[in-house]
Amino acid sequence: MFAQRNVIYSISNTLPMTKFEILVYGTAIFVIAYWFRIRWQYRKFYDLANKLPGHPSYPLKGSTFELPITPEKLMANIKKAAEDFNYEPVKMWIGPILFVGVFKPEDVQVVLNSSKAIEKGIVYQIIKNLAGEGVFTASVDKWRRHRRVIATIFNPKFLDQLFPIFNKNNKKLVENLSKHLDDAEPFDLWNYIMSCNLNNVSQAAMGFNNFDKYNISGFVHTLKKLTEFGQLLVKPWLYSKTIFAIFAHLSGWYNHKEIIDNITKEIIQEKQREYNSRKSEKYDEIDNNFKEKRTKVFLDKLLKLNDEGADFTDQDIRDEVITMTVAGSDTSAIGECFCLLLLAIHQDIQDKVYEEIYSIMGDSDRSVEPDEIPKFKYLEQVIKESLRHFSPGAIYSRKIDENIKLSNYELPAGCNVFVTPFVTHTIPKLYPNPREFNPENFSPENESMRNKFSYLAFSGGLRGCLGAKYAMLSMKLMLVEVLRNYRLYTKEKYSTIELQFDMLAKSKHGYKVTIQPRKLLKSQGTTV
């Protein structure tokens, strides 16, 4: 009896727990309960993941192999998974979030063309924080409204009136490049090309020329800082608005955003005042031909359509202007720099491009006219091939609203899907010898033999890029002007080009070339 009481006393002394023990056990129970809840709530995604091929996944870091992960390593992992599993849909866990990668044109077409997959994927939440909710990132309802309005702006008449802007800035670019004619060492094209594109888009989108007035250097610097935040796309915890707000405050990101907002707001307000003045009868009496002669820029047309009932808020207008500015400067500049670098590497192809330019323009210094653009057929093939190799938009993501069926799998509602030119553009069945720079990939005959979703430089389907024609036009005009004046050379090789993935895919080490004037080469009897 005495021994029994001692045992009971001993046990009773061990039962009470310290506060620390209670906290530990309570936390463990909460984590386990939360884990079971997540597994149940997202069971359809786990069921799908069990069916899909893909590399092993690990708690917290998912299937990204390294923590922290860089965008470059993530893209390498995606490419390896696609190749390892014969370009079939693959699972890719980024932290606790399941993404499904689709690569074959037939599956890409289903996703990008489906009315059930119009919503942008969760990764775009970061881009919304950076650039606002323009037509590129907008939710479905806002996208439908905005797209109807903006699609009417990018018509042939609007693009034709931009030729004087492009041609003037391109000639200025050629003049600026001339300071490097005597350089023995390569220089980087980026700052020159980017500056020219920013001139183009700022005038075409907002109609202003006086950069100092709006602290445009601050604008450019801030745009660069914002696009560098693309590194955040591989940090899934920042997809939460609350957590991102804390991060933005602590990192000083809001300071960058404020600069963009203030400059854009000032420009829009000034254009609004100009628009209101042009509406008045008194203004028309002073110069009744002004409306016909004046270039109608993107912001002009947006304000006019808004006045006619488009119902855009001030924030909507700001977001669309920022969207066009980023898309029309960074993306075009990247495409042009890569194209010029590749032509410097492939001298024989550069010769063929120049021969086409010379056959159309001759020795004249005149500007390209709108009706001449379709004549640059080989140049267009070269641009497309360059964008196949180095597409600025490396990845596009969608969120499935309702179940959709791919060739071999069914994707459940709520699933995040991504497509990537970085992979699709290198599938050997689509592009033989995919690492070879071969503009004949885009001859009319070869293009007609491929599914149109084999080429994703401007995305595709229902939410394809509205500014694709603007981008192609600006690239053609710039390349014609540069190549008719200079022959480009480089020490770089295709194999040495490294990519850096921020919001866009850029060359990690720049675009370094040397140049020689075409006219001097021609006078010396050298092949131009």
pLDDT in tens, 304-326: 888 887 788 888 888 888 888 77
Q: What is the pTM of this model?
A: 0.86
213-232 burial, b at 16+ Cβ within 10 Å, e below that, comes to ebebeebbebbebbbebbbb
Position 444 in a domain: no
Q: Which two tokens stand for residue 465?
A: 């890029």
Judged against a pLDDT cut of 70, whether residue 266 lies above it is answered with: yes
Position 79 in a domain: no
- Cα separation, 373 vs 351, in Å, equals 19
How many domains are contained in the chain?
A: 1
CATH code, 309 = 1.10.630.10
Residue closest to 351 by CA, chosen among 378, 373, 324, 375: 378
Q: Tokens 């050997």 belong to which residue?
A: 428
- Cα separation, 128 vs 133, in Å, equals 5
3-state SS record for 58-78: ECCCECCCCCCCCHHHHHHHH
Position 216 in a domain: yes
Query: Which pLDDT score, from 0 to 100, does residue 503 have?
Result: 74
The predicted-structure confidence for 453-496, as pLDDT tens digits, reads as follows 999 999 999 999 888 999 999 999 999 999 999 999 999 999 99
Position 295 in a domain: yes
AA letter at 233:
L
* Secondary structure class of 399 (helix, strand, coil): strand
Confidence of residue 46 (pLDDT cuts 50, 70, 90): confident
Q: How far is CA 204 from the centre of its chain?
A: 19
Q: What is the DSSP string of 8-35?
A: HHHHHHHS---HHHHHHHHHHHHHHHHH
Judged against a pLDDT cut of 60, whether residue 293 lies above it is answered with: no
> What mean pLDDT do residues 322-351 have?
92
Position 266 in a domain: yes
Of 317-326, 332-341, 351-360, 477-486, give the lowest mean pLDDT range. Answer: 317-326
Q: Which two tokens stand for residue 34?
A: 């939360």
Q: How far is CA 58 from the centre of its chain?
A: 30
Position 64 in a domain: no
Domain that holds residue 202: 106-414+459-523
Of 53-67, 175-189, 497-511, give the lowest mean pLDDT range. Answer: 53-67
Position 71 in a domain: no
Burial (0-12, 13-18, 19+ Cβ within 10 Å), 29: exposed
What's phi and psi for 399, nearest 5 deg?
A: -110, 130
Position 67 in a domain: no
